[in-house]
Structure 1
């Protein structure tokens, strides 16, 4: 849990009493590799912090799944749009490895906001982190070609390539696994 506090205090220190309130609402939960954390159509009830593991966000489809996001150790994870709106999610969330999270429910987070001075910092930090990753990917999809997207991803998140199956990486950068293989051969 100290890892969560360190992440939240990157910009400003959280008083011990505020941390005690926030910490009291956190629940530890584990997911097995391959399990669905959230099915499409369900409402996201939790904002989670990943202690261990990798999570994939994808649009399920019988013909071709589309992977559009990942979260790793030390990052916040959530189907955040569903969480904020408390509406059904249009995509699914899957554990790509054994995943251990500390999570807080939507209702409990609202209580933390009301009871603490720095509670809003928790939601803001999580939301900003999730937004920045999403925004960088969207801009890259609009302005970069496939090879540039691959190289940027390799530079900014090299851990992906050691841990994530290439078919998910290909989908994430908007190309087929075959096109990714050609790019990898060309630049190696």
Structure 2
């Protein structure tokens, strides 16, 4: 039986039931406590993860040493530091559990096996990477073209679990604003 998480993430018409079962068999379920790291800056990624429950974030330190959250990963999404994993480079980012998380890990060598043996995995991977590139470009444009209030409202609508589970400081840095600005935006939204 293929768990719903895998059916959701590895959704592609080319996958056969046998291939899906093979994919599931190469993942290992694990937990990471709140504040724990899936990857630290300077380490090379050797796996990617499917998030079954909880919230994960990517973050860097700016030139003044401040933590800047660059991405949140929610349930039914993939945690993947793509440049580190596929180019075998030390990561420039940290990947940290915002809450206790349950993830399914697939190591680099097992993914490479799947990628080289199944056309369906190659097609799925190509489509996933294209979608991630689109989302990344969209975020860059929205950071310039939308107000902080608009970005916050969109985040509330599309990813309410981030608003519910992440600390204010992490959300503010993700939106590119100060904590005090986010507090003001929240007050304005809640005002009658």
TM over 0.5: yes
Q: How many residues are paired up?
A: 188
The 3 A distance-change label for structure 1 pair 75 and 132 is farther
- Unaligned 5+ runs, structure 2: none
Task: Please give the secondary structure, in 2, of the residue aligned with 1:118.
Answer: helix
1:96 to 92, 95, 98: 98
Give CA-to-partner distance per residue, 1:25-84, whole Å, 9 cap, x none: 111121111111111011111121011111010003674100110001111111122112
What is the deviation of 1:12? 1.4
The 8 Å contact of residues 21 and 116 in structure 1, kept in 2 or not, is answered as no
Whole-Å Cα distance in 2 between the matches of residues 30 and 129 of structure 1? 27
The alignment status of 1:151 with 2:134, answered yes or no, reads no
Give CA-to-partner distance per residue, 1:136-166, whole Å, 9 cap, x none: 3212112112222212222222221111111
- Unaligned 5+ runs, structure 1: none
Whole-Å Cα distance in 2 between the matches of residues 7 and 126 of structure 1? 12
The 8 Å contact of residues 8 and 125 in structure 1, kept in 2 or not, is answered as no
Whole-Å Cα distance in 1 between the matches of residues 105 and 126 of structure 2? 16
The answer to which of 133-142 and 41-50 deviates more is: 133-142
- After TM superposition, the score normalised by the length of structure 1 is 0.90
- After TM superposition, the score normalised by the length of structure 2 is 0.88
The 8 Å contact of residues 77 and 130 in structure 1, kept in 2 or not, is answered as no
What is the deviation of 1:110? 1.1
The 3 A distance-change label for structure 1 pair 170 and 138 is same
What is the deviation of 1:133? 3.7
Q: 2:51 maps to which residue?
A: 50
The 3 A distance-change label for structure 1 pair 76 and 12 is same
Cα RMSD (Å) of the superposition? 2.0
The alignment status of 1:19 with 2:12, answered yes or no, reads no
Structure 1 runs of 4+ aligned residues shifted over 4 Å read: none
The 8 Å contact of residues 9 and 76 in structure 2, kept in 1 or not, is answered as no
What is the deviation of 1:118? 1.3
The 8 Å contact of residues 58 and 67 in structure 1, kept in 2 or not, is answered as yes
The alignment status of 1:64 with 2:66, answered yes or no, reads yes
